[in-house]
Amino acid sequence: MVKLTLIARVTDGLPLAEGLDDSRDLKDAEFYKQQVKALFKNLSRGQNEASRMSIETGPYIFHYIIEGRVCYLTMCDRAYPKKLAFQYLEDLKNEFERVNGAQIETAARPYAFIKFDTFIQKTKKLYQDTRTQRNIAKLNDELYEVHQIMTRNVQEVLGVGEKLDQVSEMSSRLTSESRIYADKARDLNRQALIRKWAPVAIVFGVVFLLFWVKTKIW
Amino acid sequence: MGTENPGRPSFPARTAATPFAAAPPQNVMPFSSSGPLVGSEASGFRPTPPAAPQPTVPFSSSGPLAGSQSSGFRLPPPPRYNDPSVPPPASNVPPTGGPFQRFPTPPFPSTVQAPTSRVPPVGQPIAQTPAPPVSFRPQPQIPPVPMGAPPQSVNSAPPNVNVPYSVSDSSFPAPMTNFQSSFPGYARMQSNADLQPPPMQSPFPSHQGGYAPAPPTSSTPFLSHQGGYVPPPPVAAPLGLQSRDQMQYPGSGAPGSIQGLIEDFSSLSIGSVPGSIDPGVDPKALPRPLEGDVEPKLFSEMYPMNCNPRFLRLTTSGIPNSQSLASRWHLPLGAVVCPLAEAPDGEEVPVVNFVSTGIIRCRRCRTYVNPYVTFTDAGRKWRCNICSLLNDVPGDYFAHLDATGKRIDLDQRPELTKGSVEFVAPTEYMMRPPMPPVYFFLIDVSVSAVRSGMIEVVAQTIRSCLDELPGYPRTQIGFATFDSAIHFYNMKSSLTQPQMMVVSDLDDIFVPLPDDLLVNLSESRSVVETFLDSLPSMFQDNVNVESAFGPALKAAFMVMSQLGGKLLIFQNTLPSLGVGRLKLRGDDLRVYGTDKEHMLRIPEDQFYKQMAAELTKYQIAVNVYAFSDKYTDIASLGTLAKYTGGQVCYYPGFQSAIHGEKLRHELARDLTRETAWESVMRIRCGKGVRFTSYHGNFMLRSTDLMALPAVDCDKAYAMQLTLEETLLTTQTVYFQVALLYTASCGERRIRVHTAAAPVVADLGEMYRQADVGAVVSVFSRLAIEKTLSSKLEDARNSVQLRIVKSLKEYRNLYAVQHRLGGRIIFPESLKFLPLYGLALCRSTPLRGGYADAPLDERCSAGYTMMTLPVKKLLKLLYPSLIRLDEYFLKASAQVDDFKILEKRLPLAAENLDSRGLYLYDDGFRFNIWFGRALSPDVAMNLLGADFAAELSKVTLSERENEMSRKLMRILKKSRESDPSYYHLCHLVRQGEQPREGFLLLSNLVEDQMGGANGYVDWILQIHRQVQQNP
């Protein structure tokens, strides 16, 4: 059963539309919405994710497809057939592209296509019950292949971004530390040089001074 | 000169020190901090305490100017001339030390003494004598401007009339008189100057500093005194006077010429000895607001970038600079905000979308960018006008500055030129996606509702408005009805006709269907229409007399809690079943006049308040439509509307034949007017002042965040200011109203209104800048709130007391100097205040006692008046009375057809000529009064054959003659000019009691009626009290 539906632009994570009153009997809807937002943020950072993916989170599972720089995401129960979920997203995608396709790139404000929620609502109802004739037919339809769609865990997915962040942070730290190291090394070099030649220089200096004094006096 | 410094430091040091000692930026909470609607942006904000440059030197004797400049938070040093009268006790208590011996007494301790020592009008050469000439010797040398002697004298005279030269060549005595009267500060100061040797010159610069930037170079105090008008053109006197205005309001035009000065206060001659019975007042001469509400012009001219007064009006545009000054202003100090006021065509609020930069706001106080921010550092930084913090300009928003320091892209940036703008809110401002507009109707179908015909009218009206509901195609709609059970309607789009579900278990309410009780209107349109068509007949034979209102309300809440929206309740029978049942308690005569009286006007059952809090939390606004002919406890039901930002409409004894049209119009307006959903509103203001109390229909979510589930153009909110600091050091206080809301189309927006007001140092100026409309609005809200906690009598007395106090204070400013012994004087700006005060005491919520207004009407009028915008409120308090018959008999001149609407008459019975026909219009209804000796022709023409019948049974309709058409045209025009309520038309004939009494005569506020005063008596009474010594 579909719990949440969100549509966002991949390039900057701007939410474009969202199904309303989806979270009626969902207790921690806020928590999952936050996860979805984090997910969108990850996507907008340009990590090359598969265009179709399922991500497990707690008792639910996110399914999303990315097409035409728009991400269509839905959250369902784990038991809900994957095939139907992706069918649902395909339906949304087709309609969304038909209605708003031209304006997606120019949308400037969040939820610019909030009017689309009526369609989301309607479509969702069609997919609510897995045992309707229509849905069973869809399930049996072999045309739509979902087997190769990857399933990953949400921690993993959100973690990728974190790990990448960590790596880049570490590498930048490495650069700065090595620069410091280079500076320090140069400094030490110079000190060593001084330590090595200073006595000799002093001795010579004294000798020359003596010579000079000598020539001056006598 | 050097020696005076030790005496001064206590003032500047104080001005500099106090702001830092106690300078919490008052609007610490950003918009988003507390609502479920608003986003995480709050977290980004941490109020950083302002750095105090010199917090440790408050009482050191460093140079005064340096001391006051140390703040670094304002551009020019604005010292206050009246510091001595103002500063906290510490500086007033003269220690025996040297510095203070120059202030033998607190310099301006009371206004009463000051004028006595002051020299009356110029032109009396005697005036010169008391001045120790030595003290002012330096002055003539100092004005560095090459100007001719006469203007110089006019300009510089007021502060030192006593100086010989000022009088010697005063070729313009009259203007100078006015000048002084307009500037009481000078008067008091001057008396001081008489007392003081040279050191007291220092107050002069400080005085001027309040208005005009003192030139930083001026080392002598007097130079800075001149600073305000250093550049006046050396022309003739009138110009000199104008320049005085400029010096008060830098940047203003020259609004007050001589005329303005003369009008500075008005006086009314009261011939009789105060206290005698003989009214010596000429009733004709009393001021009356026959032109209706006049918005304060001066204010908007001074600050052309302010938002229009229809959005924000201050009770006085001169903000007092010290707490002691504020405490002498006995009227409310605050503002009336109508955030969504309807703008005429062409003046729509511009919409700004900051796509790339995000909304530009101050880091510290979260002020939105506005016309008053200043850009510095070649355009890379901007200074917040409210907290003076320097903020970085985001790269995408950067623009170069031109030579005058203005951004070169100013003409493309409405947010930098207009006082009102709307920003498109980015995601951070939403906790959830914008919800669609939701309308849920909860309709009483008990027997009395059926009989009154209410259901039919409601069903028809809703049906006719379906096309115009805002938010197509997302609008959601739902219905429930109730009597002793609750009926839900499944309106799924696939059905052909709605299914009714009855829930009769009132103790454990549940919603029978998860969805489809609230449906998308565009999809289920036909089902909704079928339902509305059949609704009246469905309950035709219902004989149920019970009302399970409380449980029904809970059920409606459960249905709506997901989306929020507007809940419209049509209620006819006193709630009698389940939670929230109410008792008959309103008809107890004996309670009146006792301490328990106010209990009648507050909700009886906590259930309603708790429900209201819950509803607001889920963004549900409640509008209550009550129809009962019996007592229905509006006091309790209205609570729902009060805390959810809704409104109460009460139609006592509703009969569809009579009130149908009114209900139709008002419900249609409610459904179709542009509404802002899920909104929160906050008003920010500059350092040192803070809004502390709010009045109107809303729920306060934190100390200063108003939660408004729905707002529309007919709602206004009042709020009161207090000064947090003893002294304000800024010259201008800025106000910013921000309303974050979801428009019906699904856009989330922030509407921002910005206004600036000058800080003034003297009371006369505050009076001069007062706005009577706003004062009365705040007043009436306070008075109505007072009726909820005390007796009506007390509420009325408090109104009178405050008027008296303020007039007394004003009198103390001027009376002695003008020898106005027997006259009552009041500021020009507040000349209608006594009359409005009287009208307020006689308005429905406050008038009389038990018999004068039914309790329900009283309460509903109270709830209504709490929301009314200024203009409508004034119209309600002082309705218009127009004579029509003369106009009918005149040959038809189409051009000035509606001029007649402007010819308002004073509201007194003596103006009713028994040969005339009058129209009384208070914004809610028309009363047409037929004089006894009105020519039968007119009556026949207007009423047709039954003109002689009892008028309560006659309805007005257009007939086939010119006169009737004219009348209808006028009524139509009046209704159009004010569409928020429908004016129901009542006809009444002279002498037709008791209808004439309650329809018209009791509303003629200038007449004596029952125990209430007439206008003349009222003025006399106020005058007597003003004259009494405290």
Q: Is residue B252 predicted with pLDDT exceeding 50?
A: no
The CA distance from A109 to the nearest CA of chain B, in Å, is 6
Which pLDDT tens digit goes with each residue over B17-37? Answer: 333 333 344 443 444 333 344
What is the pLDDT confidence band of residue B194, given thresholds at 50, 70 and 90? very low
Q: Is residue B67 predicted with pLDDT exceeding 60?
A: no
Contact B474 A15 (CB under 8 A): no
Who wins on pLDDT, B159 or B517? B517
The pair of structure tokens assigned to B995 is 């209808």
Mapping DSSP onto H, E and C, the string for B986-1021 reads EEEECCCCCHHHHHCHHHCCCCCECCECCHHHHHHH
Rounded-to-integer distance, Cα B620 and Cα B793, Å: 36
| β-strand pairing of B312-314 with B334-337 | antiparallel
Which pLDDT tens digit goes with each residue over B665-697? Answer: 999 999 999 899 999 999 999 888 999 999 999
Rounded-to-integer distance, Cα B13 and Cα B70, Å: 9
> How many other β-carbons are positioned within 10 Å of the β-carbon of residue A189?
10
Q: Mutate which of B432, B511, B513, B517 to test chain A, going by most A C-beta atoms within 10 A?
A: B432
Tell me the chain A residues in contact with residue B355 when contact means C-beta distances shorter than 8 Å. Answer: 108-109
Q: Is residue B584 predicted with pLDDT exceeding 70?
A: yes
> Strand, helix or coil at A63?
strand
Q: Is the dihedral of CA B703, B709, B713, B714 positive or negative?
A: negative
Q: Average of pLDDT values for B434-445?
A: 94
Rounded-to-integer distance, Cα A91 and Cα A120, Å: 9
Who wins on pLDDT, B147 or B627? B627
Average pLDDT, rounded, for chain A: 85
The pair of structure tokens assigned to A106 is 């120019």
> What integer pLDDT is reported at residue A7 of this predicted model?
92
Chain A segment 52-81 residues within 8 A of B by beta carbon are none
Among B42-46, B592-596, B822-826, the least confident range: B42-46
Tell me the chain A residues in contact with residue B433 when contact means C-beta distances shorter than 8 Å. Answer: 15, 17-18, 20, 111, 114, 117
> Strand, helix or coil at B122?
coil
> What integer pLDDT is reported at residue B126 of this predicted model?
39
What is the pLDDT confidence band of residue B528, given thresholds at 50, 70 and 90? very high
What is the pLDDT confidence band of residue A52, given thresholds at 50, 70 and 90? confident
Q: Average of pLDDT values for B535-547?
A: 91
| Partners of B374 in beta bridges | B383
Average pLDDT, rounded, for chain B: 74
B657 interfaces chain A, CB cutoff of 8 Å: no
> What integer pLDDT is reported at residue B110 of this predicted model?
38
Q: Average of pLDDT values for B879-883?
A: 88
Closest C-alpha among B75, B61, B77 to residue B16: B77
Who wins on pLDDT, B647 or B161? B647
Who wins on pLDDT, B555 or A138? B555
Which pLDDT tens digit goes with each residue over B978-1028? Answer: 888 898 888 888 887 777 877 888 888 888 877 778 888 888 888 888 887
Who wins on pLDDT, B458 or B1? B458
Among A185-194, B31-40, B409-418, the least confident range: B31-40
> Strand, helix or coil at B381?
strand
Q: What distances in angstroms separate CA B601 from CA B84, B637, B791, B960, one per listed residue?
A: 46, 11, 10, 48
Q: Which residue in this structure is represented by tokens 């209550």? A: B624
Q: Is residue A25 predicted with pLDDT exceeding 50?
A: yes
> Strand, helix or coil at B116?
helix
A115 interfaces chain B, CB cutoff of 8 Å: yes
Q: Is residue B239 predicted with pLDDT exceeding 60?
A: no
Q: Mutate which of B355, B474, B523 to test chain A, going by most A C-beta atoms within 10 A?
A: B474
Who wins on pLDDT, B295 or B37? B295
DSSP letter, residue B523? T
> Strand, helix or coil at B178?
helix
> What integer pLDDT is reported at residue B273 of this predicted model?
39
Q: Average of pLDDT values for B578-587?
A: 82
Contact A24 B562 (CB under 8 A): yes
Q: Is residue B161 predicted with pLDDT exceeding 80?
A: no
Contact B426 A109 (CB under 8 A): yes
- Got the DSSP string for B569-586? EEE-S---SSTT-----T
What ipTM does the predicted assembly reach?
0.74
Which helix (H) or strand (E) is B245 found in, with range? helix B237-248
Which pLDDT tens digit goes with each residue over A60-80? Answer: 899 999 988 899 999 988 888
Q: What distances in angstroms separate CA B184 from CA B255, B633, B813, B815, one per listed residue?
A: 19, 51, 7, 11
Which pLDDT tens digit goes with each residue over B328-352? Answer: 888 999 999 999 998 888 888 999 9
Tell me the chain A residues in contact with residue B562 when contact means C-beta distances shorter than 8 Å. Answer: 20-21, 23-24
Chain B segment 543-582 residues within 8 A of A by beta carbon are 562-563
Q: Is the dihedral of CA B810, B692, B19, B42 positive or negative?
A: negative
Can you list the domains of chain A with their CATH numbers? 2-153 (3.30.450.50)
Which pLDDT tens digit goes with each residue over B708-723? Answer: 999 999 999 999 999 9
The CA distance from B524 to the nearest CA of chain A, in Å, is 12
Among B118-122, B499-503, B787-791, B951-955, the least confident range: B118-122
A99 interfaces chain B, CB cutoff of 8 Å: no
Q: Average of pLDDT values for A103-129?
A: 87
- Got the DSSP string for B750-779? EEEEEEEEEEESSHHHHHHTB-HHHHHHHH
Contact A109 B353 (CB under 8 A): yes
Closest C-alpha among B174, B141, B138, B179 to residue B157: B179
Please give the share of chain B, as a percent, with pLDDT higher than 90. Answer: 34
What is the pLDDT confidence band of residue B443, given thresholds at 50, 70 and 90? very high
Rounded-to-integer distance, Cα B12 and Cα B964, Å: 71
Contact B520 A24 (CB under 8 A): no
Instruction: Say if residues B379 and B398 touch (Cβ distance below 8 Å).
Output: yes
Who wins on pLDDT, A17 or B182? A17
By CA distance, what is B563's nearest residue in A? A21
Q: Is residue B1030 predicted with pLDDT exceeding 70?
A: no
The CA distance from A34 to the nearest CA of chain B, in Å, is 11
H helical segments located in B819-854? 833-841
Who wins on pLDDT, B777 or B124? B777
A27 interfaces chain B, CB cutoff of 8 Å: no
Who wins on pLDDT, B52 or A84? A84
> What integer pLDDT is reported at residue A107 of this predicted model?
86
Single pTM value for the model: 0.74
Radius of gyration over alpha carbons of chain A, in Å? 33
The whole-angstrom distance between residue B362's C-alpha and the CA centroid of its chain comes to: 27
Q: Average of pLDDT values for B771-800?
A: 92
> What integer pLDDT is reported at residue B289 of this predicted model?
83
The pair of structure tokens assigned to A17 is 């539309």
Tell me the chain B residues in contact with residue A23 when contact means C-beta distances shorter than 8 Å. Answer: 562
B36 interfaces chain A, CB cutoff of 8 Å: no
Rounded-to-integer distance, Cα B723 and Cα B735, Å: 14
B749 interfaces chain A, CB cutoff of 8 Å: no
Q: Is residue B200 predicted with pLDDT exceeding 90?
A: no
Instruction: Say if residues B9 and B61 touch (Cβ distance below 8 Å).
Output: yes
Which helix (H) or strand (E) is B268 found in, with range? strand B265-269
Q: Return all residues near B102 (Cβ < 8 A) that are at least 6 apart.
A: B4, B7, B196, B197, B199, B200
Among B50-54, B163-167, B649-653, the least confident range: B163-167
Which pLDDT tens digit goes with each residue over B258-283? Answer: 333 334 456 665 544 344 334 456 77
Among B575-589, B604-618, B921-935, the least confident range: B575-589
Q: Which amino acid is at B119?
A: V
The pair of structure tokens assigned to A47 is 């990590």
Q: How many residues does chain B have?
A: 1030
Q: Is residue B798 predicted with pLDDT exceeding 50?
A: yes
Rounded-to-integer distance, Cα B777 and Cα B876, Å: 11
> What integer pLDDT is reported at residue B175 of this predicted model?
38
The whole-angstrom distance between residue B775's C-alpha and the CA centroid of its chain comes to: 7
A108 interfaces chain B, CB cutoff of 8 Å: yes
Closest C-alpha among B727, B803, B865 to residue B1023: B803
Mapping DSSP onto H, E and C, the string for B912-936 reads CCCCCEEEEECCCEEEEEECCCCCH
> What integer pLDDT is reported at residue B896 of this predicted model?
55
Q: Which amino acid is at B24?
A: P
Q: Average of pLDDT values for B50-67?
A: 39
Q: Mutate which of B43, B427, B428 to test chain A, going by most A C-beta atoms within 10 A?
A: B427
